Amino acid sequence: MGADKFDNICQYALGALFDMADADQDGALNRSQFTILRQALGNRADNADAAFDALDSDSDELVGRAQYLASIRAFVTGDDSPMGAALY
């Protein structure tokens, strides 16, 4: 998948799923919400902690929407992605 497809299609779908997992609507996911999102997307639960830790660069126990989407975009376009490195 290229940047165009991500920017024009995938980011909206992934953003909507992020928003659904963001139960308190604060624009960020805690570890539990993040794990639920990962499982809903068909990802293994056993590596959700590693992905969360890779994205939680400031150790505030939250992953923001923009940070989450940027990491996925970086991974699918071949750039450096902290979450991608943790998962693959």
Contact 48, 38 (CB under 8 A): yes
Of 36, 48, 58, 42, the C-alpha closest to 83 is 48
pLDDT of 20 above 70? yes
May I ask the CATH class of domain 3-87? mainly alpha
pLDDT of 68 above 60? yes
Phi and psi, residue 28, nearest 5°: -145, 155
**Comparing 83 with 53, which gets the higher pLDDT?**
53
Please state, in angstroms and rounded to a whole number, the distance separating the CA atoms of residues 60 and 63: 8
pLDDT value of position 22: 97
Q: What is the mean pLDDT of the chain?
A: 87
Of 56, 10, 54, 58, the C-alpha closest to 29 is 56
pLDDT value of position 1: 62
Provide the residue type at 16 as one letter: A
Task: Name the pLDDT band for 85 (thresholds 50, 70, 90).
Answer: low
Report pTM: 0.81
